[in-house]
């Protein structure tokens, strides 16, 4: 009987412990959940963007390939549009899966790299996000074999985006009463009270 009465209390304590641990996590999610959620969300966005892009490209290609032999009868136009719609669906779906997979992979790798840097340094802060963004954008420019000027622009833009994203994440952690070392140090040195 006492075992059953202590069960809700232990579940409550576990829930409170999880909340305390989550306060110091990025986006208030544990790393596995965070990486899965962000990779899935970006994959869905990539699917929609890829479908739209695939339809546009396929539509233009179909017009170029068949512009010299446009139909002249009502039945001919019916079959022209029927075939075009089939091509659009196939082209859009193919591009949707390619783009969705690309978006999901890139975002998943970025947040996995960020988590790896969090573990390596033992701190969760904007420096790890900045380093992950700089490293990710450098790898991208090397993979695409971009020129020096293009590489420089992308690396600087990626690094600045990483700084902004990292600071936003740190502010969210601080808003949930989590521990961000440089904010805690600032409060300690200047005796800032909440």
Task: Tell whether the model's pLDDT for residue 4 goes beyond 60.
Answer: no
Tally the residues of the chain. Answer: 194
| Close Cβ partners of 48 (under 8 Å, ≥ 6 residues apart) | 96
Dist. CA 160–CA 89, nearest whole Å: 38
25: tokens are 């996590």
Domain range list for the chain: 27-121, 123-194
**pTM to 2 decimals?**
0.81
| DSSP E strands, the chain | none
pLDDT 10s digits, 56-86: 999 999 999 998 889 999 999 999 999 999 9
Residue of 80, 91, 103, 102 whose CA lies nearest to 56:
91
Give the position of tokens 């999610």.
29
More confident residue, 22 or 70: 70
Dist. CA 119–CA 173, nearest whole Å: 17
Percent of the chain residues topping a pLDDT of 90 = 68
Q: How far apart are the first and last CA of the chain?
A: 44
pLDDT 10s digits, 122-157: 888 999 999 999 999 999 999 999 999 999 999 999
């Amino acid at each position: 009987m006492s075992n059953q009465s202590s069960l809700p209390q232990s579940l409550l304590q576990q829930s409170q412990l999880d909340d305390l641990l989550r306060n110091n996590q990025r986006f208030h999610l544990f790393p596995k959940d965070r990486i899965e959620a962000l990779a899935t969300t970006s994959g869905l966005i990539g699917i929609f963007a890829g479908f739209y892009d695939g339809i546009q490209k396929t539509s233009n290609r179909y017009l170029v390939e068949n512009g010299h032999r446009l139909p002249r009868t009502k039945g001919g136009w019916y079959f022209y549009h029927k075939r075009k719609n089939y091509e659009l669906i196939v082209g859009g779906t193919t591009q949707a899966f390619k783009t969705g997979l690309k978006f999901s992979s890139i975002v998943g790798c970025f947040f996995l790299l960020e988590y790896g840097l969090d573990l390596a340094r033992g701190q969760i802060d904007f420096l790890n996000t900045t380093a992950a963004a700089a490293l990710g954008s450098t790898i991208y420019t090397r993979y695409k074999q971009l020129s020096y000027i293009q590489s420089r622009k992308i690396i600087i833009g990626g690094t600045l985006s990483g700084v902004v994203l990292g600071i936003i994440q740190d502010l969210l952690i601080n808003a949930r009463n989590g521990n961000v070392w440089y904010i805690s140090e600032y409060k300690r040195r200047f005796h800032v009270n909440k």
